[in-house]
Amino acid sequence: MRKHLITFLAISIVLNLCLAGTSFFTSAGNYSNDIEKQDTTQLEQLKIRIEQLKKEKQLLKERLDKLQSATPLETDDDKIYNWYFMRKEGHTPPTTEPLYLEMIKNRGHFLGDTNKKKIFLTFDEGYENGYTVKILNTLKNNNVQAAFFVTGSYVKKNPELVKRMADEGHIIGNHSNTHPSMPQLSDKEIKQELSTVSSMVEDLTGNGTHFFRPPRGQFNSRVLKLADEQGYSTIFWSMAYRDWITDDQPGEETAYNFVTDNIHNGAVILLHAVSQSNAAALDNIIKELKKQGYSFASLNHI
């Protein structure tokens, strides 16, 4: 819309200048013999160009009128946004782009209530790397509920772990069937990615999925809108670090320090369950955060 307006204004300015110039030449012709001797060919070409500009102006006006009368587009189909947050010092909750906040309004969360020391622990499960059992044991021993965002292949290959998650009161979230860039899919494909995982989880546990985390953190308004229409709340995060590279693990101490140094009210913590560092540090992380007065809540209460 803005591009059309700029073009329209530019053409209008040129047209008005040309018309003004023509008026000048015409008026001056009545008083000066020199003007009458102007190259008639150039003058005719100028008149032709002015007529062309008039037609282009009218066409642009018609297009603008049509755009202004149409229902505003709610989605930006071709745009891919990458989720990120901006950390603040002193355990202050982070923020993100104002555009992102507007896009997820009433359709998702990246923070809980920042007036309360209530936090949300979430894990992404793209594949099993041998640490989920340890993570589940730690959560059970500390009486903590978490959310596990699973892909279709994870559910298919690890049905017993998925059932255990549900049996022990954890949220099972939808991380898509094939872990694609969702904005690059058609509406039909997005719905299929979500429904496939939900059906698989429901077959195992008796309950479908109601929370969605976009693979790779890539999204746009269309993805959020379609997820919302399928009954999902999209969950981003306010705390995460580079923990998913299995052959470059930072270690237990680094994982512990990162979480405890960056904790804040309403935190949605993203950890990858493939990380040996996270699995090793989790028990101490939970105990330390509880000692600081934080409580762990289910996404059902975000």
Question: Which of 254, 279, 6, 236 minimizes the C-alpha distance to 122?
Answer: 236
Helix (H, G, I), strand (E, B) or coil at 160: helix
The DSSP code for 239 is: B
Catalytic residue status for 272: yes
Cβ proximity of 50 and 22 under 8 Å: yes
CA distances from 146 to 179, 242, 277, 300 (A): 21, 20, 18, 10
The DSSP code for 299 is: G
Helix (H, G, I), strand (E, B) or coil at 40: helix
Catalytic residue among 109, 170, 175, 272: 272
Catalytic residue among 109, 124, 175, 264: 124
| Pairing between β-strand 108-109 and β-strand 147-150 as defined by DSSP bridges | unpaired
Cβ proximity of 220 and 80 under 8 Å: yes
Catalytic residue status for 124: yes
Residue 15, class by beta-carbon neighbours within 10 Å (0-12 exposed, 13-18 middle, 19+ buried)?
Answer: middle
Burial 91-108 (b: 16+ CB within 10 A, else e): eebbebeeebeebbeebb
- Quickly list DSSP for 190-205: HHHHHHHHHHHHHHHH
Both tokens of 48, joined, read: 């032709």
Residues identified as active-site: 124, 272
